[in-house]
Amino acid sequence: MPALFSDDWMVDFGNEWNEEPDLGDALAKIGFNSVIGYGFEGEDTARGYLNVENGYVTAAGAFDGQELNWDLRAKPDDWEKWCNKGLGMMALGLAYTGGKLKFKTGDYGAMIKNPAMAGPFIKSFTVMGRVARS
């Protein structure tokens, strides 16, 4: 099984993202385009990325210097917990205000105030849990 945020894991995550209507279809309705990085707190760069065009992942893999619109960071144990249990709106707020989920790049406040973005963002954690990992 691929390690969290490895090249193979990110490709699998992108495929799962595209299979989930509450992500792709929902984000397509608002014309969402972004490059999203995922990684671990304290590291200089993200480990993996998704390129999202009109709601759907068009490229995914190991981070290789792409310019990121969003760069999400947390400790490995927190990522594992969220992958296993998902993340609801209240837990997301607590993770952010408690410093467990950091937005190195991206505007958490603007995202969470927009239901068309917040719902899919929360759903992305459930989708992460569908991806096998070591």
**Quick check: 40 and 4 in contact, CB under 8 A?**
no
Looking up residue 73, the CATH number of its domain turns out to be: 3.30.1050.10
Residue 134 is predicted with a pLDDT of: 47
- Model confidence, pTM: 0.93
Whether residue 106 lies inside any domain: the answer is yes
- State the pLDDT confidence band at 113, using cuts at 50, 70 and 90: confident
Q: What is the pLDDT of residues 12-30, one digit of tens each?
A: 999 999 999 999 999 999 9
Helices (H), the chain: 7-19, 24-28, 76-85, 89-97, 108-112, 115-128
Report the distance separating Cα 61 and Cα 50, nearest Å: 7
Q: What is the pLDDT of residues 46-96, one digit of tens each?
A: 999 999 999 999 999 999 999 999 999 999 999 999 988 888 888 888 898
Domain total of the chain: 1
Whether residue 134 lies inside any domain: the answer is no
Residue 73 is predicted with a pLDDT of: 97
Q: In what order do the strands lie in the sheet with 70-74?
A: 56-62, 48-53, 34-40, 70-74, 102-105
Coil vs helix vs strand at 40: strand
Whether residue 91 lies inside any domain: the answer is yes
Report the distance separating Cα 91 and Cα 23, nearest Å: 19
Residue 1 is predicted with a pLDDT of: 52
Tell me the two tokens of residue 43.
Answer: 């590291």
